Structure 1
Amino acid sequence: MPSRSEERVVTPALLRDWPLPEPGGDKTSRGTALVVGGARCTPGAVLLAGLAAMRAGAGRLQLVVAGESAVPLSIAVPEAKVLGLGPDGEPGEQVLELAGRADVIALGPGLDDIDSTIRLMGAVFEAAAADTAVVLDAYALGALSKEPGLLTQSRAVLTPNLVEAGHLLDRDLGDDLAGAAAELAARHGAVVSLYGHIAAPDGRSWREESGHVGLGTSGSGDVRAGIVAGLLARGADPAQAACWAAFAHSVGGQRLVPRYGRVGFLARELVDEVASTIASV
């Protein structure tokens, strides 16, 4: 494990010195984001992650959910191409073709079964190119805790909550979240974004200090994963995407406080703050 460096605080000044890639003239230049998840009862998680990816700058959006949710979701998100999984949660040939062409794959939002997620991850990541960027969230992280070899892509960001990070480390995190993020980053060779603490496998680390209690709401993590995916799609490197996403997620929540109070806003309202928060930097 690399020695831990002192965390740098994520500020607008730091981000301005680490500018995102300039968008090109058409949608393909800003990359294709593929979001895979959405069990039968939770297709909205994919909707939130997908819209957040587009608000963060992805040029094209593709969504994969449980088969019965595909048509309703395609109507709810007319900007996206939407495909359904098979009856047992298996990806069909079209899904695997999308995985092979995507610039970034966000996997996990809304999934609810570890065994089927393990099979899904294995198939999707095998179909993807080795340099495809990936974002793992929710049940995908549970699957990774059981099968670490599933993650074969080198450009990866993990976005665990405290419970998921505990499963990945197989221990209680205690109060040292920075240390837990660094340990996970070294173990999986991926950037880790854990409750405002971002760690890269080379030992670099950052801390985003704008987070607050209002972000602890249903769907908030799906939005954060989607922001990371959108930034990766437009060409950011994994550490850069994680830092910018942590800022956009946290500060976007702060911007909602005057309207809704500290704990009254919804994850879907966070999505609408992403683009303007990024632009404000």
Structure 2
Amino acid sequence: MSEDTARREDREDVPAGVEGGSPGSPRLVTPALLRSWPLPEPDGTKYSRGLALVVGGSCSTPGGVMLAGTSALRMGAGRLHIGTADDVAMPVAVALPECGTTGLPQDDEGAITGERAGALLEKELSRADAVLLGPGLSDAEGAARLLEEVVTVLPDDTPVVLDAFGATTLPDVSVQVVERLSGRLLLTPNSGELARLVEQETLSGDDEVVEAALAVARRFGAVVGANTWIVAGDKVWQVTTGDTGLGTSGSGDVVAGAALGLLSRRAGLVQALVWAKYVHAAAGDDLAARLGRVGYLAGEIPPQLPLVLGSLRGD
């Protein structure tokens, strides 16, 4: 077995005792389940905890990459790099001093065009431990070109998280790109984005969301998280923690970034998403208890993430 194959399989294994359930009887995600499925220990320096790379944003929506990147660091990633629209790369670096940035070509509206993105990000892509593409992107055509460019350069064993436009452009990219992503792909669409992936206008109720997530997981060889559900293959987990206050602008970027941070720490694909979904929801519950059921901001969630992680470890 090659080293790359061993690394890929290590990311995908789901230990006995924490397997998902059936669509009609999902496995509930609880603190007991998570404690029986511990994350890789965050030992060593920032280099041993991995480099998280976030690619996305635009001149009108730079906050998505910042929320995602901050969340990745809060979940234990050692280093962070952000690729975003050229005009906002420097302001993002100033606002988030923990990251490095790369400016990417943009159009007259300030949206990333995707042109030359692979070459501009080649160094960071070659050494990233996990990549998130999608938060804050504002143009579908540019997002598809960006995904094509990134995957062409990205090593074959690097896990990829696609969120928002990054996920919904999957049907628009080449078969070769889809094949290269299969088996190392994590998707975090909302219900509207999930509907587009199955070519429906809307999804009504949990049953339709789960059915769509199962179809998308099979089609793209992905682990899929939508709403309270996580799907891998034909297995289903459900997070019942969390409340309506999590439905706030930028909250999805936090989830995607949290999963990215855990992947950077060498968590498996399923483990990273199950943990990220639960920790995000529990952080929302903590904020609701202090601030109210609604009204807290997505930017207030990341500081809660390591506190929830600590409570699950018994720190």
> TM-score, normalising length from structure 1?
0.95
The one of 137, 156, 160 equivalent to 2:189 is 160
2:121 is paired with a residue whose SS is helix
1:160 is paired with a residue whose SS is coil
Distance in 2, Cα, partners of 1:207 & 1:258: 22
Deviation at 1:26, TM superposition (A): 0.8
Question: Pairwise mapping of residues 165-204 of structure 1 onto structure 2 (< 5 A)?
Answer: 165-171=194-200, 172-175=202-205, 176=207, 177-201=209-233, 203-204=234-235
Alpha carbons 1:44, 1:110 under 8 Å: kept: yes
The one of 111, 121, 129 equivalent to 2:147 is 121
Question: Deviation digits for residues 90-122 of structure 1, max 9, x if unmatched?
Answer: 216331221122111100000010111111000
1:27 is paired with a residue whose SS is coil
Alpha carbons 1:37, 1:110 under 8 Å: kept: yes
Deviation at 1:40, TM superposition (A): 1.0
Distance in 2, Cα, partners of 1:55 & 1:205: 26
Question: Pairwise mapping of residues 255-270 of structure 1 onto structure 2 (< 5 A)?
Answer: 255-270=286-301
Distance in 1, Cα, partners of 2:174 & 2:106: 26
1:56 aligns with 2:75: yes
The one of 56, 59, 73 equivalent to 1:40 is 59
Q: 1:147 to 1:93 in 2, by over 3 A?
A: closer
| Residues paired across the two proteins, number | 278
Question: Deviation digits for residues 180-219 of structure 1, max 9, x if unmatched?
Answer: 2222111111100011110002x22100001311011000
In structure 2, stretches of 5+ residues that fail to align are 1-20, 108-112
1:217 aligns with 2:275: no
Deviates more, 1:53-62 or 1:170-179: 170-179
1:133 aligns with 2:144: no
The one of 284, 289, 309 equivalent to 1:253 is 284
Distance in 2, Cα, partners of 1:211 & 1:134: 26
Deviation at 1:28, TM superposition (A): 1.2
Deviates more, 1:224-233 or 1:88-97: 88-97
Deviation at 1:148, TM superposition (A): 6.6
> TM-score, normalising length from structure 2?
0.85
Question: Deviation digits for residues 138-179 of structure 1, max 9, x if unmatched?
Answer: 111121133373332221110000110000011232221222
Distance in 1, Cα, partners of 2:223 & 2:303: 26
Deviation at 1:84, TM superposition (A): 0.6
Structure 1 equivalent of residue 269 of structure 2 = 238
Deviation at 1:79, TM superposition (A): 0.9
Give the fraction of aligned pairs with identical amino acids, expressed as a percent: 45
Q: 1:195 to 1:87 in 2, by over 3 A?
A: closer
Distance in 2, Cα, partners of 1:20 & 1:146: 35
Deviation at 1:4, TM superposition (A): 4.3
Question: Pairwise mapping of residues 94-113 of structure 1 onto structure 2 (< 5 A)?
Answer: 94-113=120-139
Alpha carbons 1:148, 1:188 under 8 Å: kept: no
1:31 aligns with 2:63: no
Letter of the 1:230 counterpart: G
Distance in 1, Cα, partners of 2:162 & 2:118: 20
Q: 1:232 to 1:209 in 2, by over 3 A?
A: same
1:208 aligns with 2:234: no
Distance in 1, Cα, partners of 2:217 & 2:42: 29
Alpha carbons 2:104, 2:120 under 8 Å: kept: no
Distance in 1, Cα, partners of 2:219 & 2:144: 19
Question: Which stretches of structure 1, 4 residues or longer, exceed 4 Å deviation after superposition?
Answer: none
